[in-house]
Amino acid sequence: MTRVKKGVNALKSRRNILRKVKGYRHGRSTKERQANEAIFHAGTYAFAHRRDKKGDFRRLWNVKMSASLKELGTSYSKFINALKKSEIALDRKILAHLAEFHPETFKKIVETAK
């Protein structure tokens, strides 16, 4: 079997790994083994936090709607229940946007739902 020197390939993979961890602190940005571990953990956190972000936004939309609904004399839970009973199919993202930027339209929706 012939001898294979892997210098070029090893340098290429090392270069790619170190490019991904540019800006990380301490040995994680310069040492291949630590960099590999940093990349692995970063990927795990990124995956989990993409899921968390969806819940965070939903909570934010609920807070925005709740603040507007308090001014209109009702609560968030009563409003959502009224929406479902009156079969108005608007999602929380749209409702929060209306509550924040178009309060008169939001007020009409609240009146319709009641």
* pLDDT at residue 4 greater than cutoff 90: no
6 pLDDT more than 90 = no
Average pLDDT over the chain reads 94
Cβ neighbour number for residue 106 with a 10 Å cutoff: 20
**Residue 35 pLDDT > 90, yes or no?**
yes
Q: What percent of the chain has pLDDT over 90?
A: 89
The Cα–Cα gap between 75 and 34 comes to 51
Greater model confidence, 54 or 1: 54
Predicted local distance difference test score (pLDDT) of residue 3: 87
Distant-in-sequence, close-in-space partners of 75: CB < 8 Å, separation ≥ 6: 66, 69
**Could you give the number of structural domains in the chain?**
1
Say if 85 falls within a structural domain.
yes
Whichever domain contains 98, its CATH number is 1.10.1900.20
Residue with tokens 């972000």: 53
Please give the model's pTM, rounded to 2 decimal places. Answer: 0.72
Domain coverage including residue 63 = 8-113
Is residue 3 a part of any domain in this protein?
no
Which phi and psi angles does 80 have, rounded to 5°? -65, -40
